[in-house]
Amino acid sequence: MKLFGKWDLSEVRVSDPGLERYINLRPVYVPHSSGRHTKKQFWKSKMSVVERLVNKVMRSGPGTRKIMGKFIRGRKACGKKIKAMKIVERAFEIIEKKTGENPVQVLVRAIENAAPREEITRVTFGGITYPIAVDCSPQRRVDLALRNIALGAFGRSFRNPAPIEECLAEEIILASKYDMKSHAISRKEEIERIARSAR
């Protein structure tokens, strides 16, 4: 069974042993589970990694926080999963054309590169709040990587004639090469730099 009838997931490999259990590469034709993994905590690791990317692309919101220097409101596609799946499918076609590789393998490499290893949390002692560095759990590492890849694509497509699928493909390719032009990679480096200073 091939993803969208085009790409074989059985040949994709995860090189990071910490993320291997949390990047689900079970073969699916259409990455749509109808929300059957929402009933229990941490069951999202049983969901295909491509579907998790599709869900991150379905982002919408008030745009109260700046992403890449811009207020991003999303693509007005919240709930339109078929539209989001088409965006991801076309982005994968662009990735395959540019790199000549399986696009799911490029996505997995991008997730491994963009997943932060540590971050900060705030602890209060006697009314004073201190930031302290903590290790990032594997589940959260994958979540943050996927979120930052999707946000980077939105930032690239903002006031840009290039369509969102081209911007998403470019963001995934840059993240897979560990290029600092990628929003996901620069955000990871920023998180880890803040955590190092809070040790």
**134, HSE (Cβ side, Cα atoms, 13 Å):** 12
Domains delineated in the chain: 50-197 (1.10.455.10)
Q: To the nearest whole percent, how much of the chain has pLDDT over 70?
A: 91
pLDDT of residue 116: 94
* 19: nearest Cα among 152, 87, 112: 112
Residues facing 132 on adjacent strands: 121
Position of tokens 């042993």? 17
Give the tens place of pLDDT for each residue, 91-125.
999 999 999 999 999 999 999 999 999 999 999 98
Q: How confident is the model at residue 75 (pLDDT cuts 50, 70, 90)?
A: low
Give the tens place of pLDDT for each residue, 139-152.
999 999 999 999 88
* 160: nearest Cα among 138, 91, 40, 152: 152
187: tokens are 């955000």
Give the tens place of pLDDT for each residue, 152-188.
888 888 778 888 899 999 999 999 999 999 999 999 9
Whether 35 has a pLDDT exceeding 90, the answer reads no
pLDDT of residue 74: 57
Q: How confident is the model at residue 63 (pLDDT cuts 50, 70, 90)?
A: low
pLDDT of residue 36: 85
Over the chain, what is the mean pLDDT?
Answer: 88
Position of tokens 């076309």? 90
pLDDT of residue 39: 81
